[in-house]
Structure 1
């Protein structure tokens, strides 16, 4: 909570910068090309003079956000700060979502690169972020990818969970599960995957499934929703009747 408050304080500081968001130029707009750069080439987590440490990434993530999350993971592992970086990047993404003014700012690619970087440096300084998180966010700001920070943070969380030996399981229901049912479901999933990993159960609410539940983990889906059962029944009733079998 304290970290989240510091991030909000940093964004409040950004809001006071006023004229920064209005500094634009045609030349800067034409030069801005938000392509994914090889972040690992920045080597911002490396210590000069030391041999490059080979980091094994537990999950293969694809796309621009996956590339950024992977680069951050490698830097965090080298700095032995995966959990700290996870907390910081998630808090930053959450704080950004709660500030409509800053959300508009990071989505506007016509804003000069140095203005974006200055805003991020102010926020990270106020929040007292680690060097890994601060330097990463600066790179993201330079590359015009702050608009993807929510997705990047979620992808990084997947890597951090794998690093900690956790398996994410998602249960979708119409209403929140009572604590005793949530505990029983978590224990069931734990028995299925074994003791080699710890289950992290997340609940999602979706009234459209009508009832029952949908359980997803380890690329498996167990659909026990009333909606799916109703659709299956409807397909069965629509099938033509073979009179010869009656």
Structure 2
């Protein structure tokens, strides 16, 4: 699901518009928090993923669904209006790309280094602290960590910082061995 959050040209254009509006109105932090909440919910809810990505759900139904979520979560008005605009333009399916592009714009403006850590099991606070300090040494800045669980990894970690991915998951190692054995 993290792979769903890739930028696209459409996502970048919408993200730029949202970013500029949020920055001008002083709602940048609130909008960012709203988008982070949506990103987390997307990862945790199959229903939300279906709402956003299904080609059989009408754009206006997608808009109503996201509008209800935004209202219940008490999202900032800029975020709510933006989600309505995406729905109105039939672009809800681009929401993940918008979120990814928005994060890139935010990181450029603020100098924040975002890192996503994916593990097979939940990580303890101590483990996250060790990962954060290792990333601090590697990139020279304190990273803002997002941790999520993906049981399909079987073990190990995947760490993504910007466009760089460090994959030390057991699943990937097993896939590499399987590929090597097929070639032998």
Q: Tell me, which stretches of 5 or more residues in structure 2 are unaligned?
A: 1-6
User: Structure 1, residues 200-233: CA drift from partner, whole Å, max 9, x if none?
Assistant: 2222323333322222213222222233334445
Deviation at 1:155, TM superposition (A): 3.6
Give the superposition deviation at 1:86. 1.9
Structure 2 match to 1:188: 134
Residue equivalent to 1:221: 165
The yes-or-no answer on 1:73 pairing with 2:16 is no
CA distance 1:172–1:137, change in 2 (3 Å): closer
What is the 5 A alignment of 1:1-246? 61-91=7-37, 130=76, 132-195=78-141, 198-233=142-177
Distance in 1 (CA, whole Å) between partners of 2:174 and 2:42 is 41
**Which whole-Å CA distance do the structure 2 matches of 1:203 and 1:231 have between them?**
23
Between the two proteins, the alignment pairs up a number of residues equal to 178
Asked whether the equivalents of residues 62 and 92 of structure 2 are also in contact (C-alpha less than 8 Å), the reply is: no
Q: Is the 8 A contact 1:90 1:154 kept in 2?
A: no
Instruction: Report the CA distance between 1:169 and its aligned residue.
Output: 1.6
Deviation at 1:73, TM superposition (A): 0.7
Alpha-carbon spacing, 1:129–1:201, altered in 2? closer, same or farther (3 Å) = closer
CA RMSD in angstroms comes to 4.6
- Partners of 1:225 and 1:128 lie apart in 2 by 37
Instruction: Provide the TM-score with structure 1 as the length reference.
Output: 0.51
Give, in whole Å, the separation in 1 of the partners of 2:150 and 2:51.
32
Following TM superposition, where does structure 1 have runs of at least 4 consecutive aligned residues deviating by more than 4 angstroms?
A: 89-109, 111-131, 231-240
TM-score normalised to structure 2 length: 0.65
Q: Is the contact between residue 132 and residue 145 of structure 2 (CA under 8 Å) also seen in structure 1?
A: yes
Gap regions ≥5 residues in structure 1: 1-60, 241-246
After TM superposition, give the deviation of residue 189 of structure 1 in Å: 0.3
The one-character-per-residue Cα deviations of 1:79-121 (angstroms, maximum 9, x if unpaired) are 2321122234555787899999999998899x99999999999
Higher helix proportion: 2
